[in-house]
Amino acid sequence: MQLWLIPILPLAGFFINGVFGRRFSKSLVSTVAVGSVVLAFAWALRVILALGDLNSAYTEHYFTWIQSGFVNIGCDMAVDRLTVVMLMVVTGIGSLIHIYAIGYMAHEHGPNFGGFYRFFAYLNLFMFFMLTLVLAANFLLLFVGWEGVGLCSYLLIGFYFDKKFATNAGNKAFIVNRIGDFGFSLAIFLIMVNFKSLDFATVFQQAPGASEATLTTIGLLLLVGACGKSAQLPLYVWLPDAMAGPTPVSALIHAATMVTAGVYMCARSWPIYVHAPEAMHAIALIGIATAFFAATIGLAQNDIKKVFAYSTVSQLGYMFVGVGCGAFSAGIYHLMTHAFFKALLFLGSGSVIHALSGEQDLRNMGGLRTKIPWTFWTMLCAALAISGFPFTSGFFSKDAILIAAHGYAPWMFWLGVVTAGMTAFYVFRAMFLAFFGTYRGREHPHESPPVMYLPLVVLAALSLGGGFIKIPVFLDKFFPTGEVPEDSTLMAISVAFGLGGIALAYLMYVLKPSMADSFADSVKGLYTLVYNKYFVDEIYDAAVVRPVVGGSRAVLWKTVDAGFIDGMVNGVGTLSRGVGDVLRRMQSGNIRSYASWVLLGCVTVIGAVLFFLGGVR
Amino acid sequence: MAEVPVSWFLTLSAVLFVLGVSGFLFRRNIITVFMSIELMLNAVNLTFITFAYQLKQVNGHLFAFFVMVVAAAEATVGLAIILTVFKNRSTLNIDDVNSMKN
């Protein structure tokens, strides 16, 4: 079925735009970029329709990649039901965001020459790696995609490379991800050693036979990798800074697709996790802690993209709760609906930023509801969905997770419900600050062009109706646990918290705008703590960055490098120079002196032979 | 008729060789130096022939022929070089041909 075509198409787009984009017009660049992704979407759709019910995985083997001893790794791609969901999300949302980006990046020229084609080339490259990650049939190929999306994330966060904070954010994302990837690669080594294979099919078939300790170790190391990529505690710090990239990047990479790779990988490895309950418990704990922690930070942010960034971290936490509680399909369900509404929230905020010519601070917005109505109404759909408003997409998926959490540990349910309330509050706080009240900024707002708001409309429809795509039913044969029975009481509680959050935001930011400030004043210490993101960046800086930098400087640089290694190299240099100084004197340029040396040498050799060997008989 | 002892040949060869070496080392005229080289080659040739005669083996003769061929070739090239050097520098003093130094 030529599965390889799906990732290769965006790669071709990357090469065409990357090599020739400088000479192309903007419309040609966008045609190539969008066309390649839309074609990938169409081909993925064709493949999926042709493959039928997909009750077992469909695998294609292309070539043997590594062959050494018992290591035999092929370049294999596979499609099963989980892949179908991911493929549709990645190519579908990817296409919409590519289309949107044509409008958003239209004014891109400025100091970084050729920004337009560079942006689309990177974006296509990202699609290639993400599709490789999703289609991979073994851990190593998955790792290739995994690292590749990390690279593209780095390139696109630092897209405005003439701005110091953007390049710093790119570095931060890359370095923090290294920590996670270290754990992931250790997990791959362990899998290789224990199962003598990296193919998903082989590994997962043998997984029940391995000892629980081994599986727990592998599971925890995989979790470390997932924590890095999916921005979970304690490695979430890179994601909020990643908002330095252009907004379509935030929507595609840092909300809808790449950051969900960790959830996908954990769900993909379910046969390992079901035999390692400790590791699953760790996933659930990290997930719920991240969900709650990030939501509290989101309450007090003033940058519209930062609000949604912390919201993403928090929602990813939900997905991990789902996976950790054994409700894998609920986690993937939320992954999909979150891709819809969070991509929409980011694209909408991009549209707001575009309308205000670059303004991101909520305090300088307000009253935009009538000025940019398309953006407002579509974003409202996403805000309702993320708040779990009944029968929107977020309502179904979040409840699936919360009910599973209730079955796993009731306290997780309650923490999740409180988080849901906070989520509704901070999202609607951003909505009310941006769209209600009176306009507080100076720029003249203007609605975005259709190429930008049409993707928003599609995403709005998906945010509202996407919950009716019943992922848990679709995946019930794929994952061990079936659909969790619906519990109307628990549903009512979570909806009540969501609506309560919205109502509170309405009260504090629309009815009595002074209330927000007086409330912040009354809990000043707590507010400062949350506003400054619990000083986590500062703590990391003091506890990790400074010791590492200081240690490297004092020990590795001054002592080892400058003292030892340089000393050795310089010593060899000085020695050869000294020897050369002596030997140089022999090179007089006088032929007869050379001949004398030859003669002397011959006489010495003959003399030595005669003296030591007593002559040759 | 009494045979000439082998040691006489070897002594003569050694004397010729030392003459060649001394000429090479102490003369400054390139032509003389060149002839000294030929003298050394012929001294060695004489040694080869002597041993071939004494040991009744043909190898020494073969070596001698090889040396003559190489010497002839070397003489051609060497004389050509000497001519060129003289054309360019108008001198045959070997100590003045040191432009490769520095």
Query: Do A542 and A606 fall within a single domain?
Result: no
Nearest chain A Cα distance for residue B25, angstroms: 5
Q: Domain of B79: which CATH number?
A: 1.10.287.3510
Taking CA B5 as the corner, what is the angle to CA A617 and CA B9, rounded to the nearest 5 degrees? 80
Which residues form the domain of B71?
29-97
Query: Do A226 and A305 fall within a single domain?
Result: no
Query: Do A197 and A221 fall within a single domain?
Result: yes
Which chain B residues touch A592 with a CB distance below 8 Å? 24-26, 94-95
> For the residues B32-56, what does the mean pLDDT come to?
92
Return the pLDDT at B102.
54
Nearest CA in chain A to B95: A590
A589 in contact with B, Cβ within 8 Å: yes
Query: Do A464 and A602 fall within a single domain?
Result: no
Which residues form the domain of A574?
532-586
Query: Which residue carries 């400062």 as its tokens?
Result: A528
Probe site for chain B from A588, A591, A600 (most B CB atoms < 10 A): A591
> For the residues A237-263, what does the mean pLDDT come to?
90
Q: How far is residue A333's CA from residue A395's CA, in Å, rounded to a whole number?
A: 11
Query: Do A148 and A8 fall within a single domain?
Result: yes
Confidence of residue A615 (pLDDT cuts 50, 70, 90): low
Inter-chain CB proximity B98 and A592 less than 8 Å: no
Inter-chain CB proximity A592 and B97 less than 8 Å: no
Taking CA A257 as the corner, what is the angle to CA A45 and CA A73, rounded to the nearest 5 degrees? 75
Q: How far is residue A484's CA from residue A486's CA, in Å, rounded to a whole number?
A: 6
Q: Indicate the residue of A589, A592, A596 with minimum beta-carbon distance to B100.
A: A589
Which chain B residues touch A586 with a CB distance below 8 Å? none
Q: Return the structure tokens found at A414.
A: 């309650």
State residue A74 phi and psi, 5-degree precision. -105, 165
**Environment class of A19 (CB within 10 Å of its CB; exposed 0-12, middle 13-18, buried 19+):** exposed
Examine residue B17 and state whether it is found in any structural domain, yes or no: no
Q: How far is residue A280's CA from residue A11's CA, in Å, rounded to a whole number?
A: 36
Q: What is the DSSP string of A582-608?
A: HHHTT--S-HHHHHHHHHHHHHHHHHH
Q: In sequence order, which residues have a C-beta less than 8 Å from that of residue A258 and are 6 or more positions away?
A: A126, A130, A149, A150, A153, A229, A252
Type of residue numbered A144: V
Q: How far is residue A483's CA from residue A502's CA, in Å, rounded to a whole number?
A: 29
Nearest CA in chain B to A590: B95
Query: Do A265 and A291 fall within a single domain?
Result: no
Confidence of residue A111 (pLDDT cuts 50, 70, 90): very low
Query: Do A362 and A390 fall within a single domain?
Result: yes
Can you name the residues that pair with A73 across neighbouring β-strands?
A: A66
Residue at which a domain ends, from A275, A295, A316? A275
Examine residue B8 and state whether it is found in any structural domain, yes or no: no
Q: What is the largest CA-CA distance in chain B?
A: 62
Inter-chain CB proximity A592 and B102 less than 8 Å: no
Higher local confidence (pLDDT), A161 or A615 = A161
The total of structural domains in chain A comes to: 4
Query: Do A501 and A598 fall within a single domain?
Result: no
Q: Return the structure tokens found at A9.
A: 């198409």
Q: In sequence order, which residues have a C-beta less than 8 Å from that of residue A444 and are 6 or more positions away?
A: none
Query: Do A291 and A196 fall within a single domain?
Result: no
Tens digit of each residue's pLDDT (9 = 90 or more) over A307-344: 999 999 999 999 999 999 988 989 999 999 999 999 99
Residue at which a domain ends, from A473, A494, A524? A524
A588 in contact with B, Cβ within 8 Å: yes
Q: In sequence order, which residues have a C-beta less than 8 Å from that of residue A53 and are 6 or more positions away?
A: none
- pLDDT > 70: percent of chain A: 97
Q: How far is residue A232's CA from residue A236's CA, in Å, rounded to a whole number?
A: 5
Examine residue B12 and state whether it is found in any structural domain, yes or no: no
Least Cα distance to A431 among A349, A359, A516, A315 occurs for A349
Q: How far is residue A242's CA from residue A591's CA, in Å, rounded to a whole number?
A: 72
Tens digit of each residue's pLDDT (9 = 90 or more) over A269-311: 999 999 999 999 999 999 999 999 999 998 888 899 999 999 9
Tens digit of each residue's pLDDT (9 = 90 or more) over A117-134: 889 999 999 999 999 999
pLDDT at A84 over 50: yes
> For the residues A150-161, what does the mean pLDDT come to?
91
Compute the mean pLDDT over every residue in chain B, rounded to the nearest whole number.
89
Nearest chain A Cα distance for residue B10, angstroms: 16
Question: What ipTM goes with this model?
Answer: 0.81
Residue at which a domain ends, from A219, A248, A275? A275
Higher local confidence (pLDDT), A614 or A536 = A536
- pLDDT > 90: percent of chain B: 60
Examine residue B70 and state whether it is found in any structural domain, yes or no: yes
Nearest chain B Cα distance for residue A587, angstroms: 8
Q: Indicate the residue of B21, B95, B102 with minimum beta-carbon distance to A590.
A: B95
Q: Indicate the residue of B25, B97, B98 with minimum beta-carbon distance to A595.
A: B25
Return the pLDDT at A113.
55
Q: How far is residue A498's CA from residue A151's CA, in Å, rounded to a whole number?
A: 37
Return the pLDDT at A616.
56
DSSP SS3 for A133: helix
Query: Do A606 and A540 fall within a single domain?
Result: no
Nearest chain A Cα distance for residue B18, angstroms: 11
Compute the mean pLDDT over every residue in chain A, rounded to the nearest whole number.
88
Cβ–Cβ under 8 Å, residues A235 and A176: yes
The total of structural domains in chain B comes to: 1
Query: Do A149 and A241 fall within a single domain?
Result: yes
A595 in contact with B, Cβ within 8 Å: yes
